Amino acid sequence: MGEWKFEWKRFQKHNKYTDEEMETFMNDPRRAKAAPILFSPAILKKNLIIEVVKSHGCSAGLKPGDKLVFRALGILDPQKSSPWCAQAMGEFGGIANMLQDRFVAGLDPEECIWRYFSCMDCGPEYGWGQVVMQAYVEDAESWAKDSAGNSA
């Protein structure tokens, strides 16, 4: 196999972009730089993990250790994920954007400052409960080994 090369025509077809939309996309230097990185084999080797670290009064039953796994830092893998509450998902888009941005910039996504966040519920004093989660990135290969019960 040869060296991987990003294919703009394939990208255009996958996203169903018209020629005009593709021209607009490619005329934006930030997006034109990011696309080959966000669709590279390297990002496919990264999982974004959202893990519950603290839970009190969660009526959906989320508990510490529950996880969501997103392949390539943004595509949910339902087979590797726990059932989840919609109110706990409010911050996911921002977290994924931040980690993808760091990846594109060549920075380590694991060194981001904003790793912890909570669900939208304010806790039993004024709501139902509260769930605290952390976001982190793991190599897809090591996560698969760990979740299968094998050593990484």
Strand segments (E) across the chain: 46-56, 67-71, 75-76, 116-118, 130-139
**Which pLDDT value is given to residue 124?**
87
pLDDT digit string, tens, across residues 36-70: 999 999 999 999 999 999 999 999 999 999 999 99
Tell whether the model's pLDDT for residue 145 goes beyond 70.
no
**Which pLDDT value is given to residue 123?**
87
pLDDT band at 122; cut points 50, 70, 90 = confident
- Flag whether the pTM goes above 0.75: yes
**Which pLDDT value is given to residue 150?**
47
Listed by start position, the domains of the chain span 8-39, 45-147
Tell whether the model's pLDDT for residue 93 goes beyond 60.
yes
Angle 69-5-16 (CA atoms, 0-180°, nearest 5)?
Answer: 65
